[in-house]
Amino acid sequence: MSEPTPRTVDIRPGWLVSSQVKDNPVRQLVVGGTPYEDTVVRKGMEPRLPYVVGFDSKKGIPPFIDESVLEVDRKYILGHEIREQTTLQERPEIDRCIESLKTELTEVEADRPEELRAYAESRSHFFDALVELYKDPQQRATKSAEFLQGLDRSQEYLHGFINEWKDQIPEGTFHADYTPEQAAAIRRAREIGARLAATTPQLATDYEDPTRSNLDLARIYIPEDAEEFPQVAAKAIGYAIRRLLPPDKLAELTRLHRKHLLEQQTGESGSEARTQHNRGAAIARHEQGIPVDAAAMTRGRGLTPWTVDEATIAIELSEDPQYRNGDRVDWKNIAEVINASFHEESPRTGKSVYDVVRDHRRGIKRGT
């Protein structure tokens, strides 16, 4: 989408004007070579759907979309609606939705290939709800049989698309572990984080204070997100910080943040508070009848399975120009960042990071 554009003559119906999100500017998008101005409307207009989107060229209703849709996704979803009633208008009605959907997914794959599956799952969730909505006799009566058949075909296409992906990436791999909600949260955190990195370089300076957590910084820079979605907001700050700081500085500061957090929770290393914390945890396990788990103790010394968060950052940084020299990736620096972020010691090595990224790309779960 382009920059916000002023609307010279407002031809929108009154209900659409009144539904527009306050202070949300009109934006222009181009579909099939034709420019359109879209309206972002408040969420919850149709509670039976994850979000609303619409366009009706015959009734003169310009494109509109729900504010809850990620901004980065809106142009693809709006483009789908517009194509159905413009460039695909000559096609049989039963074919329009699925043909527009195929174009939509092709565009996402070209622009954001690493997010294609999460996007497809999000759209599948929407189509499932839409098909369910049109089981309501009143809603069903508003659409032709061809439209409803086309909708069913699109739903089936998305299910097949995702199942084919599962065949290529077996369940249990890192991205296959994401629910649609988790995938959407990760995408939202990246979107906010990328914007912060581009517009708020002061974040890098503020992060030098180890007493300020990511959530503390989120409350300063993105207070509304921090209030409503604190985990997403904190991850967005982390994403921005990783964009702003060079690898060595990032590892150093992240290690200081972890040290401060641990001291706040359990006292300084070797202190009576830390000893009491460890003793209390052991007594609690004993009282609950939980036996000593030697394997768990070994994992606690660093031989731990990779978490989704660790793998996500490893994959993200392996594609970051700061950690690349042409085709070569600085696996050691990535390992330092991950160790500083998640571990008191240094269990992750350059080779183990390389292995986990390689296995992710092959669709294999990394156990240790």
- Tell me the per-residue pLDDT of 163-190, one tens digit each, with 9 for 90 and over: 765 544 333 344 444 566 666 777 788 8
Higher pLDDT, 116 or 75: 75
**pLDDT at residue 350, rounded to an integer:** 87
DSSP label at 323? Answer: G
Query: What H or E segment, with its residue span, contains residue 56?
Result: strand 53-56
- Across 292-312, average pLDDT: 57
Report yes or no on whether pTM surpasses 0.75: no
Alpha helices (runs of H) in the chain, residue ranges in sequence order: 14-19, 71-85, 93-111, 116-133, 137-140, 145-168, 180-199, 202-206, 214-221, 223-228, 230-244, 247-266, 272-287, 294-300, 308-318, 331-342, 350-362
- Across 216-222, average pLDDT: 93
**pLDDT at residue 138, rounded to an integer:** 94
- Across 75-81, average pLDDT: 95
CA–CA gap between residue 273 and residue 267 (Å, rounded) = 5
Portion of the chain with pLDDT greater than 70, in percent: 78
Please say if the pLDDT value at position 53 is more than 50.
yes
DSSP label at 23? Answer: T
Please say if the pLDDT value at position 238 is more than 70.
yes
**pLDDT at residue 147, rounded to an integer:** 96
Q: Per this entry, what is the length of the chain?
A: 368
CA-based nearest residue to 74, from 163, 186, 187, 181? 187
Helix, strand or coil, per DSSP, at residue 34: strand
- The two beta strands, 328-329 and 61-66, are unpaired
- Across 321-340, average pLDDT: 84
Please say if the pLDDT value at position 340 is more than 60.
yes
**pLDDT at residue 160, rounded to an integer:** 86
Bridge partners of 38, per DSSP, are 27
- For the chain, the structural domain boundaries read 1-87
Query: What H or E segment, with its residue span, contains residue 10?
Result: none
Work out the number of other CB atoms within 10 angstroms of the CB of residue 119.
23
Please say if the pLDDT value at position 273 is more than 70.
no
CB 123 within 8 A of CB 159: no
Angle CA(314)–CA(254)–CA(347) in degrees, nearest 5? 55
Name the pLDDT band for 265 (thresholds 50, 70, 90).
low
Higher pLDDT, 10 or 292: 10
On average, the pLDDT of the chain sits at: 79
Please say if the pLDDT value at position 269 is more than 60.
no
Higher pLDDT, 134 or 57: 134
